[in-house]
Amino acid sequence: MFDIFIESHFSAGHHLRDYPGNCEKPHGHNWHIKVTVRATELDSLGMGIDFRTIKEAVNIIMDDLDHCDLNSHPSFLDRNPSSENIAVHIFDSLQNVLHSDRYSLFSVQVGETQNTSVIYYGKQ
């Protein structure tokens, strides 16, 4: 079993609707993302999945989220753009793309800071 991951980031603003504190006010983060793919076996080149394949898929999502007001993004019109919901959005967007008979998406980690993050493993 191999866990292969890449890290990425995007910058965006958001606010948490109905939150009882400062996070209800518009503010921004430099979000840190870690996407992990789990491979059960290696290909003929000795790789579980090419890092480039993961990066290309993740970059499409990052470009869509980067420098936007997440509350206005279609994925967050009816749910708060919390770290948890952002992780679900990224996971759901990548799940079918990063999947084969040898590997599948394992987790998405989303962090608002270096010291705070959430990891989503998909629906078990």
Q: What is the pLDDT of residue 93?
A: 97
Domains of the chain: total: 1
Reported as a single tens digit per residue, the pLDDT across 8-17 is: 999 999 999 9
Which of 23, 32, 68, 84 is the catalytic position?
Answer: 23
CATH code for the domain in which residue 28 is found:
3.30.479.10
Q: What is the pLDDT of residue 121?
A: 98
Scored b (16 or more CB within 10 A) or e, 39-52 reads beeeeeeeebbeee
When pLDDT is cut at 50, 70 and 90, the band that residue 45 belongs to is very high
pTM to 2 decimal places = 0.95
Sequence ranges of the binding site: 14, 27, 29
Q: Detail the DSSP E strand segments found in 15-102.
A: 27-39
> Domain containing 104: what range?
2-120
Told to judge if 9 belongs to the known catalytic residues of this protein, a careful annotator would answer no
